[in-house]
């Protein structure tokens, strides 16, 4: 998988090397996605960067990244889309290889063609679309992560908290109408109930 990142860096080209020490935490948004069976939903993978504050230029330092994404078997991965600062600034994006048999997306990678983002802050890296195939609860998590700064040094990664996906049966139309009727009946009852006497 490291070869994918090397290729992306070659295509993306070098960027100014500001230097500095970074740490990063990958996160998921939403952290606890919910979907009905038969529907699609999105999960964003983002990064929070913490810089040392000693860089001569505030624009640095995340330049490239690569990771795999594992997901539960009751989901089908549909697509991976570039997002955030990398997409807006100009980059060389690789959406990875989707393997719904083994429940993994391998080799999601990207490299900037221009100025790196600020060395502190939070941004979305990719948006992943899934289809809920069955009822279940399970994690979405990254693996084999590599983040590089503008000197092509590895950025220290903090432990991530996987997303927990929950899927439920699609409500039957009759059930939905029954719930609505019960809510309306409750509202009417409250309106007709005598209130306290005010003289």
d(CA 40, CA 69): 17
Q: pLDDT, tens digit, for every residue of 71-99?
A: 999 999 999 999 998 998 877 999 999 99
Average pLDDT value for the chain: 80
Identify each DSSP E strand in 83-162 by its residue range: 91-94, 97-99, 104-112, 121-132, 136-149, 156-157
70 bridge partner residues: 104, 141
Q: pLDDT, tens digit, for every residue of 10-30?
A: 444 444 444 456 789 999 999
pTM greater than 0.85 (yes/no)? no
Angle at 193 between CA 189 and CA 196, to 5 degrees: 155
Q: Give yes or no for a cis peptide into 187 (omega within 30° of 0).
A: no
- Residue pair 140/28 in contact (Cβ under 8 Å)? The answer is yes
pLDDT of residue 62: 85
CATH of the domain spanning 2-170: 2.60.40.680
Each domain of the chain, given as residue ranges in start order, spans: 2-170
């Amino acid at each position: 998988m490291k070869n994918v990142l090397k290729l992306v860096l070659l295509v993306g080209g070098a960027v100014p090397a500001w230097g500095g020490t970074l740490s990063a935490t990958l996160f998921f948004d939403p952290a606890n996605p919910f979907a009905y069976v038969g529907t699609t939903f999105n999960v964003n993978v983002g990064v929070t960067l913490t810089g040392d504050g000693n860089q001569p230029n505030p624009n640095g330092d995340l330049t490239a990244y690569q990771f795999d994404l594992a997901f539960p078997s009751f989901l089908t991965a549909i697509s991976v889309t570039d997002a955030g600062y990398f997409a807006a600034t100009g980059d060389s994006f690789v959406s990875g290889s989707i393997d719904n048999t083994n429940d993994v997306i391998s080799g999601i990678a990207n490299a900037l063609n221009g100025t790196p983002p600020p060395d502190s802050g939070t941004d979305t890296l990719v948006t992943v679309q899934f289809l809920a195939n069955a009822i279940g609860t399970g994690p979405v998590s990254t693996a084999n992560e590599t983040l590089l700064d503008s000197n092509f040094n590895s950025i220290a990664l903090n432990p991530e908290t996987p997303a927990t996906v929950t899927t439920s049966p699609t409500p039957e139309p009759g059930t939905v109408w029954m719930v609505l009727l019960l809510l309306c009946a409750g509202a009417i009852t409250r309106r007709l109930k005598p209130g306290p006497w005010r003289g």
